[in-house]
Structure 1
Amino acid sequence: MLDRANDSGLPSPLVGRTSELTVLTSHAEAAYAGRSGLVVLSGPTGIGKTSLLRAFLDSDTCRKMTVLHGTCGQLVAGSGYGGVRALFGPLGLTADDAHDSPLLQGNARRALPALAPHPGDEEPPSPATAYPVLHGLYWLAVNLMTQGPLVLVLDDVHWCDERSLRWIDFLLRRADHLPLLVVLAQRTEAEPVAPAALADIVAQPRSSAIRLGPLADADVAELAREIFPLPVAPSFAERVAAVGGGNPLTVTRLLHELRAKGARPDDTGIHAIAEVGQCVVAQSVHALFERQPGWVRDVATAIAVLGGAADAAAHIGGLAAVTAARIEEAVTLLRGAEVVAPDRPDLAHDVVRSAVLDAAGADALAGLRARAAQLLSDIGRPAEEVANQVLLVPGHPQPWMRWVLREAAAQATNRGAPEAAARYLRRVLEAEPDSVSAHVQLAGALAETHPVEAIGLLKGALDLTAEVRAKAPI
C-alpha cells in the first residue's frame, strides 16, 4: 500500500504497512462503537511510526472522530504535564474559558493547572496531591467524548513526562464502555523518561502492541521506483534493503543519495550502495552544509536547538544572528532538501536533528544552548520552557540559570507534577551542594514519590545548619 499524501516531514511515502494500518483502523472502529482501547506502536528510529500515524489519522474512521494528536520532544522531556499540553494545547483552553466552555464544565476546570503555560495564574490545587488535576483532565476527556468518540495519539512517548503518563493510565483504568482510543508511539532504543509509568500503561489488559519491523525487499523496490525514473532491478532493491536495514528513513535517504551521485537502479549501481550507505543521513546533512553558505548551517542549527518550541520561528534569527530575509531563504532551501519539516519550523526527524547538532560540535552546541536559554528568558517565556534548555547545558548552571530552575520547579509543583520539580531541583543541588534551601526544596518535591530520599535530604539540610532556630523549620 502506498500513501502519496504524506505530510509527516519524512522523506518517504508510506510503504509496506498495510497490515499495521488495518489493525489501527480496527481499533478505531471499536472505539467508535463504544469499546475503549489502547495501542502501543513501537520500533527503532526511522522505521516509519510517524508516517503510519499520519496515514491512520487521515483514514475515514478517524475523520468521524475527535482526534487530538501531540508529539513529545527531547527539549520538553520530563516537564510537568508536557505530554498533556501537547495533546490538549490546540484546544486553546484557558481560565477565561472556565465559565463558558462546555469542555470545562464541572470538575473539568480542575485540569487548568496542567494546561496553562503559567500554572501559577490558575489558582492551582494543593501541591500535596495531584489527584484534583488528574480528575479534572479525566472529565475534560469525558466532556470531549460527549461530542463524539475520541482518539488520543501521542508520538515519541519515550520523552513523555511521568505525570502525563500517570494521567493516561488514570484515564484508561476508568475507560470501560467509553468511546476512546489511545495510541502511543515509542522508540524502542530510547530510554523512557518515566519507564515505570510507561510500563504500567503497557501492562494494562486492554493494551495491544504493534511492533514495526524492517521493510521487505518488494517494499524497498516500490520506494526505489518512486525516486528513480528508471526500472529497478530486484538485485539493486535487495542490496539497498540489506545496507539500509529495511529502515524506511535510511533507505529513502540512501536512494536519494544514490540518484544524486548518478547511480543507476540496476546491477551497475550496486557497487555504489555500500560506499554511500555508511552513515547516510549524517553524510547527506554534512554534504548539504558544505555546498551552502555558513548561514544556512547556522539557521538549521538554531532550529535544531529550539526544537519546535512555541514561537520558535520568531527566535531563529536571534539565536543564529541571521537576517529575516536569509532565514526565509535558508528555510526554503532546507525544506527542499527535506531537512526542515514542510508544515512547521522544526527539523523533519530526530535523526536529522542529531546529524545537524553533531555537525555543530560539542563546545559550540553548549554555547548555543546557553544562548537559547538566555534568549527565551529575556523575552519572558515560561520558566519551565527556559529550564528545559538549561538542563541541556553541560556543567553546573550559572547563578541566573539556577534561579530559573527554582522558578520552573515552583511552576511544576503548582501543576501537581513533583517529578518535574525534582528534575529541575537536582541540577540546583548539584551546583549548590551546601545549600540548605536546595536540600529542603528537593526533599519537598520527593516527599510523596521518594520519601526515603527526601528524609536523607532533610537530614543533610540539618547537618548543614548550625543554629538551633534555623533547624526548627526543617
Structure 2
Amino acid sequence: MKLSERDGELGLLRRLYRGCVAGKGSLVITNGPVGCGKTALIQTFAEQVTEQGGAVLSVTGSASESLDRLGLVDQLVTAMGAAGPADGPPDAAEVATAAEASGPVPRALMRRVYRAVAELAGKRPLVLHVDDVHFADEASLQCLRYLVRRIDSLAVLVVLTESSSHEQALATLHAETLHLPYCHRIRLGPLSAEGVTGYLTDHPATRSVAPETVDLWARTSGGNPLLLDALIEDFAERGTADAAGRGAPVPRESFRNAFLRCLHRCEPTLLAVARAAAVLGTSVTPALIGDLLGEDATSVRRSVTDLRAAGLFSGSWYGHERARLTVLADIPGKDLPALRARAAELLRESGAPAGVVAEQLLAGNDSAQAAWQPDILREAAREALAAGDIGAGVDYLRHASGICTDANQEAEVIAALAEAQWLIDPAKASRYLSQLSRMVRAGLLTGSDALVVVKQKVWRGEFAQADDLLRIIEAREGAGAENAWDSAGYSRAVIRSDHTLVRVWLSFCCPGLRRGTTMSPRTFIRLSADLIELGKDPATDELLRGTGRAGPFADTLVALIFLIGAQRLDEALLWSERLLDEPRNRRAPMRHAFLETIRAAAALSRGDAADAGEAAGTALSLVGPEAWGIAIGLPLALAIRAATESGDVDTARTYLDLPVPMVMFGTPFALPYLQALGRFHLALGRPRAALRDFESCGELMTKWRLDAPELVDWRNDAVAALIAMGDHRRARERVEEHLAQLGERPGRARGIALRHLAAVGPSRDRLRLLQEAVRILDACGDGLELSRARADEEVARRAEGQTTALGREHPLGALWDAPSPPARGTVPTGAADPDAVPAALAELTDAERRVGALAASGCTNREIADRLSITVSTVEQHLTKIYRKLKVRGRADLPMSLVRFSEVACPPCGR
C-alpha cells in the first residue's frame, strides 16, 4: 500500500526517532479505522529506521489469540531472543508458567522483559512496534503498560497501532499512558478527494482514468486506502482505461475480499450494524437498525459514525451496491430468513412502500407466514404494474399465491397473477385459466376478477367456454346478456360496466355466438365509438392513458382504433407515440406491441408504408405469434400490407409464412388478414386470386353483419382486382353500387371509389371525378391514395388537353376506356414533343420509361422482363435508376403518368 496524505505523521515519527537516538524514549499511539494505512505508515517508518542502523521489533495482536494469556508477551520474548541480548529475555518456560497462573502478572517477569528491552536499546536505538494492540490479552497489556512507563530515559520508541472501533477495549491503557509527557497520538482517517486523486495519479494502472470518474472512486472506496488498492487491482485486471469505461471503478473479487477483511476486523457491533443495513437496503435508518438488532438508536448511530470513518459507509450508507451485496452474502444462511422477515415487519409498521416490504418477503422466503403478507404483496404488485415493472408485479403475486390464508383470497391473487402475466406473455398466462375457471364456477371468483378469465379465453378463441363463464357472472350480478343493450338505444353507464364491455367484445370476436343477445357486430362499432366520446369529454385523456385495468381489450385500444377509423390520424399517432414514451407501456411487452400496432395502422392509413412496416415488425417481434391469439391477424395484416406497398415482396411472403390459429378465420381479425393477402396477390399480378380473397372477405362481413368500410374496404379492393383483370364492366357495376351504399358523406372509401369510377367510367367525367377524389383524400390525410389520385388526375388532365386539340376520336382520348395503354407507335408525332413530358420523367432514358411504365401499371419484375425480352436483373437495375431519378422509395410511389410510355400491352394498374 502506498502512502498518501501521511507526510505529517511520518515527519513526527522521524522526529521522535531522532530523540530516541539521543537517548530519549517515546510512546506513539497510532489510532484509526481499519484499512486506513496505520500499518503501512509504520512499515515505511520501520524501513527508514533499519536503513539508519536502528533495530525494529514487531509483534501483532490477533482476534483469535485475544484470550491467550500473555500471548503478545510470548511473541515479544521470541523476537528479543532472536535479537540476542547478553542476559537474554525470559525463557519460554517462564512465560508459559506465568500464562497458566491466574491473577496479576508476576512482577519478576515484567522486570525481566523491561531489562531485556533496555539491554537491546543500549546497543542501538530500538523501535518496538505492537500492531493491532486492541487484540492483546489483558496480561500482555499489563506488561506493556509496565514497560512504557519506564522508557523515558531509554533509546526506545514504542509504537502502538489500534483500531478506532476498539477504543473502549483499551480504556485502561489510554488512562495510564496518554497523560505521559513523552506520549504522542496520531489519528489517521480515510483519504480526502484530493488524496484519492493523487493516489490514482501515482498508480500506473489508473493514471489515465477520466477526471470525472474520481468521485466514483472516492465514493466507492470511502477513501479507505485498502479498499482503494483493491479497486485498482480489480481495475487493472479489466484492461485499459478505454476498455474499462473511461476508468470508472467496478468492484469485483479483490474489493469483495478487502471489504470483508475490514469489516471482520471491526468491533462485532459494527459488523452487526453493517449486516442490518445491508438487509434493510435503501430503507435503512438508525432507528430501524436498532429495532432489527434490539439495540438503542444512540449506539447504532455511534457504530454508523465509526463505519463512515472507516470508509465502509460512504455518502448514503454503502458507497456502492456491490459492497452491500458483499455484506449480504456474508450473513450466515441460517440467520438471513429471520432477519428478512423481521425487517419486512418493521418496514411495514414504519409505513414503508409496499414494494420495499415485498422485496424483503421475497428475499427472505421465510416459512413463518403472517396474515398481512398476501395483502402487502398484492398492494406491491399493483404499484409495480402501475409503474410498468411487470416482472416484479408477477413475482410478488406468485409469492402471494403460495401463502394465502383462504380460498377466496387465493382466487383473487391468482386472477391478478394471470392478468399481470398476460402483459408479458399471454401464452404463459393461459396456464392459470383451468384453475381460474373452476374458481369462477365455484363462486370463489367474482366481479372484475372473474372477467379476467373470460377476456383471456376470448383472446385464445375459446368462445364457448368464455360465453358459459360470462353467463354465470351475469346471472350472479343480475345483468344477463339480454339486458346489456338493445338494437337502438343504450345508456353510456350500461356500456361502461365491465361485464357488458366484455360481452360486447365476445359478440364482436365470435359473430356466430349470439345466444340470448340482439347485438350485432355492426352495433359493436357504434357502441364502441360512443363509448370513447373522443374530443367531447374532459375524461378523454384519462381514457387514453388507460387508467383502468389492463387486459386484452382495454379502453385505450378502443379509443385509438376509432381515432384511426374516424381518420383522425394525427391524433392517433400523437397518442400512440405519447403512450409509448411512458415507461410503464414500454416495459410491458403486450402494451408495447398494442401501441406499435396502432402506430402501424395510423401510419399505413397516412400512406407511410415504411413507418408502418417498422412499427408492425416491432409489434410482432415483441411477443411471439402464439401470444397474439386470435388478434394475430391485425399486426400480420399491417406488416404484409406495408411490405407490399413498399414493393418488398420477399418480406411480405415471410410474414405470410407465419402460422396463424385456425380459429382466427372465424373472427373479424381474419378480415384485414384476407385483405392483405389479396393485395399481395394483386401486387404479384394475380388479380383473380386477389379477387377471391376480397370476395371471401366480403362474404364474411356480410354474413356477420359487419359490412362497414371503416373496418375493411373490400369493395374498393375488389374493384381494383377487376380493373387489373380488364373487366371494366363488372368493375363499373361494383364501384357504382359501392358509391350508392356510401352516400354523399365524404370519406376515404368514397375518395378511392371515385378514383376507380374515373378509371372505368365515361372519359367526359374522368377529370371531374378525380378532382373530387383528390379533394376527399386530401381531407382524409391518406398520403398513399392521394398520390395515386393526383397521378391519375395528371394523366387525365393531359389526356383531356390532347383530346381537345386532336379530336375526341384520338386513341389517347380513350386511354381509360381501353383495356391497356395504347402503343407508342399510334400516337402522333406531336404527342411525343419533349415539352409535353414532365421535367422529372424527361430525365429517364427510353428503356427506363418502358420499364417504369410497366412497373407503374402493376407488372412484376418477371412479367416486365418477359414483355420486354430482357433479364430480371436488367429490370432491377433500371428500376433502381428510376427510383433515384424520380426521388421515390419504390414502385408504389411511381407516378401513373409513366403509363403513357408503355410500348407493349399491360393491364391497367389495379391500385
TM-score calculated relative to the size of structure 1:
0.49
The structure in which a higher percent of residues are helix is: 2
Which structure's relative contact order is higher, taking Cα pairs within 8 Å and 6+ residues apart? 1
Larger of the two Rg values belongs to structure: 2
The structure in which a higher percent of residues are strand is: 1
TM-score calculated relative to the size of structure 2:
0.27
